[in-house]
Amino acid sequence: MKRRDWLKAAALPVIGMAARAGQESKAAAVANPLKAPAQGGIPVAFVLSEGAVVIDFAGPWEVFENVNIPGVSEPFHLYTVAESTKTIPVSGGMKIVPEFTFENAPAPKVIVIPAQNGDSEAVLNWIRKSAKNADLTMSVCTGAFLLAGTGLLSGKAATTHHGSYVDLALRFPDIQVKRGARFVEAGNVASSGGLSSGIDLALRVVERYYGHDVAAQTAFQLEYQGEGWMNADSNSVYAQPFVQTANHPVCPVCGMDPDRSLKSEFQDKTYYFCSPPHQKLFDRKPEAFLK
């Protein structure tokens, strides 16, 4: 039995099991709903380049893949798109062969932008052009920097990985960076926090198209215990900047444990860093990281 056929066969038992597990149905209208097409699946494009972070795109991919709608064979049509179809090395040594290029990719209704290294003008132009007719363009983790580079976040609120709040704010001062947000919705764009936050934003997208019960069923099918998709402010643990102490220094840029060999002096204090790039960021404008 194919995976999707199995999901259909299991749909009703899953709903019943979810109810018995204490997941309450929410019949109330979903805020900011999106309209699913009368026929066919919702095309979702995953924009990839070198260094794309696997969980950033694989997490949302699995969410959309596991959505089950009775009578709809493929609620979401998923595909990868890049500048070329050459093999792309992504995080952890995995290699991905994109399905489409920017020239021949189907027009998407949802665009997913994971953290990655590529920010060429070709990438930015394709996102700008495709976003005009898309229902939603969403970033995951530091994919927010690529989305911001298109100008689509200008004047809007957004979030990113907690270690990049200040950097995003410094590079794009016209964006209201929200600390402690699992995800942020701003019109036809949305951004999520780091890594696993993309799963929650994807579940929220499912909810906007198909309602709370379908999203809850999808989360249950994935055995996903997180509830961040129901509470955008659930990343509050990251809302406050990390503060180093004499006994426990942390990188002032991202809060990670530092390499004691990487250090800078500022206002008679010594600061340590997790990596040379973060040391350079700090040295450029240290006061911004100490507010």
Residue 224 vs residue 71, higher pLDDT: 224
- Domain end, chosen from 238, 261, 283, is at 238
Q: Do residues 203 and 247 share a domain?
A: no
- Domain end, chosen from 238, 254, 280, is at 238
Q: Do residues 140 and 276 share a domain?
A: no
Q: Does residue 100 carry a pLDDT above 90?
A: yes
> pTM for the full model?
0.89
Q: Do residues 223 and 277 share a domain?
A: no
| CA dist., res. 139 & res. 120, Å (int) | 16
Work out the percent of the chain whose per-residue pLDDT is above 70.
90
Q: Does residue 20 carry a pLDDT above 50?
A: no
> What's the domain count of the chain?
2
Is residue 84 classed as helix, strand or coil in its secondary structure? coil
- Domain end, chosen from 238, 255, 277, is at 238
Residue 1 vs residue 86, higher pLDDT: 86
pLDDT reported for residue 23 = 43
Q: Do residues 222 and 96 share a domain?
A: yes
Q: Does residue 13 carry a pLDDT above 90?
A: no
pLDDT reported for residue 245 = 81
Q: Sorting pLDDT into bands at 50, 70 and 90, what band is 69?
A: very high
Average pLDDT for the chain:
91
Contact between 48 and 61 under an 8 Å Cβ cutoff? The reply is no
Contacts of 129 (CB under 8 A, 6+ apart): none
Question: 255-282: per-residue pLDDT in tens?
Answer: 889 999 999 999 999 999 999 999 999 9
Q: Do residues 200 and 62 share a domain?
A: yes
pLDDT reported for residue 130 = 98
pLDDT reported for residue 242 = 76
Q: Do residues 30 and 160 share a domain?
A: yes
DSSP 149-213: HTTTTTTSEE---GGGHHHHHHH-TTSEE-TT-SEEEETTEEEE-STTHHHHHHHHHHHHHH-HH
Q: Does residue 47 carry a pLDDT above 50?
A: yes
Question: 172-223: per-residue pLDDT in tens?
Answer: 999 999 999 999 999 999 999 999 999 999 999 999 999 999 999 999 999 9
Q: Does residue 80 carry a pLDDT above 90?
A: yes
Domain membership of residue 90 as a residue range = 3-238
